[in-house]
Amino acid sequence: MKKTILTGLRPTGNLHLGHYFGACQNYLKLQNDYDFYLEIADVQALTDNFNNPEKVRRNVTEITIDLLSTGLNPDKVNFFIQSKIPEIAELTVFYSNLVTVARLERNPTVKTEIAQKKELFGNNGESITYGFLGYPVSQAADITAFNGELVPVGEDQLPLLEQCREIVRKFNSIYGETLKEPEAILSEAKRVKGLDGNDKMGKSLGNAIFLNDTEEVINQKIMKAVTDPQKIKKDDPANPDICMVYYYHDLVNTKENKEKICNECKKGTRGCVQCKKELIKAMNEFLKPIQDKRKYYEQHPEIINDILKNGTEKAKEKAEQQMKSVKKAMKIDY
Ligand code: TRP
């Protein structure tokens, strides 16, 4: 029997290169060997976008198209929508007895996010909602509703997984062995830096290249990318290790080209403008197959609907089964 993998994404925006190299490449490998459930976490997205339902709705479709465009195979991956699985909400209620408010307030991921969302939750998090504080509980329900054994996530999500494991242990110790304790699969890929040289590429940081950016947009973004500040003249030698243009060449260009670019940069026989133009070309070539797939799916919205419908049906079956065991263990199986 294949092991079960469960992961989720909040539908709050399109995917960028950070997602592609940090997560999608990993999914592409994993889809062949596991029973793979991929949750479009619309309920979780609403915890900090409750005042913007249109955004969440629009991005459910957008993120599904992005994921499929990267080459994920809907015959291997069950794409499903969180809100269509009410068992997740039910489990969240049951698990909320097994976690203290203090523990949630100490969760490092939650703490960081509260600090980033001052507008929504106040300068010191004094206006934090019950729903947002509790989303780690809901995420534990996401995973355990499917008996998820492996959870591919980025490092920032590890505290949430730890919280889930604690809930599972507590549940099992009180109600008897019922739930599996999931493990993280950390992506081998490194975190992708932003066009501005920031350690992290992020939508809110304004330094991202999105998988669906047009050629024109890519052109503008790359022309503004940060290069070695010591290089003033076209024929000054420079250090590719601190140049964002070289950094992206390294991600998307061929080995031969990379070596050539690196050598010429160090020798000072290559200007930054030429180098950027070559990166624009390489980036467009890299994104072309992804964008071609996107176009196909955009022209066939009925396929997206079918994929979500089928995946959600399979997920629902699995969650219903799990719910039976949970209710039995909790003695609420009337
Ligand atoms: N919290 C995750 C994120 O922001 C998304 C997510 C929702 C998730 N449910 C999940 C990740 C279950 C792993 C498992 O990226």
- Closest C-alpha residue for ligand 1 atom 7: 8
CA of 10 to the centre of ligand 1 (A): 7
Which atom of ligand 1 lies closest to the CA of 152? 13
- Which of 181, 160, 166, 154 is closest to 108 using CA atoms? 160
Q: What is the mean pLDDT of the chain?
A: 96
Ligand 1 pocket check for 82: Cβ under 6 Å: no
- Mean pLDDT of the 218-245 span: 94
> Range with the lowest mean pLDDT among 36-50, 57-71, 189-203?
189-203
pLDDT tens-digit profile of 175-213?
A: 999 999 999 998 776 689 999 999 999 988 899 999 999
Distance, CA of 62 to CA of 304 (rounded, Å): 10
Query: 306 pLDDT band (50/70/90 cuts)?
Result: very high
Q: Are 83 and 42 in contact (CB under 8 A)?
A: yes
List the structure tokens of 242. 């601190």
pLDDT at 54: 98
- Closest C-alpha residue for ligand 1 atom 15: 9
User: Percentage of the chain with pLDDT > 90?
Assistant: 94
- ∠ CA(110), CA(43), CA(24), 5° rounding? 75
Ligand 1 pocket check for 42: Cβ under 6 Å: no
- Closest C-alpha residue for ligand 1 atom 14: 7
CA-based torsion, 149, 154, 155, 158: positive or negative: negative
What residues pair up with 38 in beta bridges, in sequence order? 7, 79
pLDDT at 156: 87
